[in-house]
Chains A and B, each alone.
Chain A
Amino acid sequence: MTKGDKFLIGLIILISISSFAYINRYAFADVDKYISVQVNGVEIKKILYDPQLIGHTIPVQTEFGYNLIELGDERVRVIEADCPDKIDVKQGHIHRVGETIVCLPNKLVIEIKGEIKDSDVDIISY
């Protein structure tokens, strides 16, 4: 093993670790994720994620009923509802794009929306 070999090994380790750090930091950041609150099919609130909003609660009082939404760190849940079964409260947090909390009696839908990229390939097999 010569000096050049060791240099090459060091170079490859450096490249892979630095590009790994870069990928982790920038490439997979979900910047376009937002929470959409819909009542009776109409979007009444659109909430962008913000660290200042952690722990914030949002009351939703409509003609169909009352729900209290709590924002968390990159996630959201319903903590209070006046519907009889409380399925939305029991469901807990949601955080992934496409997940929903539904409260049928109050006609409330909370959905995490965002662009889902690269959807033209379903599955890859090797």
Chain B
Amino acid sequence: MRKTNKMIFISLLVSVGLALSVIESAIPLPIALPGAKLGLSNMVVMVTLVVFGFKEGIKVAMLKSTILMLVTGSITSFFYSLSGAILSCVVMYIFYRYFSKIFSLIGVSIAGAASHNFAQVSVAVLILNNTRIYSYLPFLLLTSLFTGYFVGLSSIYIVDNLRKNFRILFQKQVVK
């Protein structure tokens, strides 16, 4: 795979993640919890982690939340989403790289979703200077189970499909 191929594929992933974030904000949730999201764009970060690796994954995660801030224009949610994206990316990579015998992609994604919520709530605690906000975490953790399961299941299918149809992605050596 050429360097250009890789760059194009990563930018495609970022744009897919952006589109998913915008679409998911239009999907109503049955429960009214501020901060609870479907986290569809997490799928993109997971696929990047699996296909490319850690460096590209964190690039995609950070680019995604930065550009989403430019699209939606809300700076406070940018801090929440950036911290969540970085921590969940690190946790998912550790889970995928070192514990992939124990956990399938579903487990990886649930761990990512849970750590995303944890980082978000921690940033809220720092911004508002009030540790009582941690009392909100159990609800978010419960919702992250469902969204994480769904996202993990979908990314299993995505990675399978990519393995079949885009074999070029999995040829590790970079041709200059």
A residues lining the B interface (CB < 8 Å): 1-5, 8-9, 12-13, 15-17, 19-20, 23, 27-28, 117-118, 120-121, 124-126
Chain A interface main SS type: helix
User: How many residues of chain B are within 8 Å of chain A by beta carbon?
Assistant: 27
Instruction: Judge whether A19 and B107 touch: CB under 8 Å.
Output: no
Instruction: Judge whether A16 and B142 touch: CB under 8 Å.
Output: yes
Could you say which residues of chain B place their CB within 8 Å of the CB of A4? 99, 102-104, 107
Instruction: Judge whether B103 and A8 touch: CB under 8 Å.
Output: yes
* Given A28-B135, A121-B128, 5 additional A-B pairs, CB 8 A: A4-B102, A5-B103, A13-B145, A16-B137, A19-B137
Could you say which residues of chain B place their CB within 8 Å of the CB of A27? 132, 135
A-B contact list, 17 entries, CB within 8 Å: A1-B104, A1-B107, A2-B103, A4-B99, A4-B103, A4-B107, A5-B106, A9-B149, A16-B138, A20-B139, A23-B138, A27-B135, A118-B128, A120-B129, A121-B128, A121-B130, A126-B76
Query: What is the CA–CA distance of A50 and B128 in the complex, to the nearest angstrom?
Result: 34
Instruction: Judge whether A118 and B102 touch: CB under 8 Å.
Output: no
Query: What is the CA–CA distance of A8 and B104 in the complex, to the nearest angstrom?
Result: 11
Could you say which residues of chain A place their CB within 8 Å of the CB of B106? 1, 5
Query: What residue in chain B is nearest A9 (Cβ atoms)?
Result: B145
Contact A5:B104 (CB < 8 A) given known A12-B110, A12-B114, A120-B129: yes
Chain B interface main SS type: helix
Shortest beta-carbon distance, A12 to chain B, in Å? 6
Contact A118:B104 (CB < 8 A) given known A13-B142, A19-B137, A126-B35: no
Shortest beta-carbon distance, A119 to chain B, in Å? 10
Could you say which residues of chain A place their CB within 8 Å of the CB of B137? 16, 19
Instruction: Judge whether B34 and A8 touch: CB under 8 Å.
Output: no
Instruction: Judge whether B107 and A124 touch: CB under 8 Å.
Output: no
Contact A2:B102 (CB < 8 A) given known A16-B138, A126-B35: yes
Could you say which residues of chain B place their CB within 8 Å of the CB of A9? 110, 145, 149
Across the A-B interface, the 3 shortest Cβ-Cβ residue pairs? A4-B102, A16-B138, A5-B107
Query: Mask for B133-176, Cβ within 8 A of A = 1, else 0?
Result: 00101110110110001000000000000000000000000000
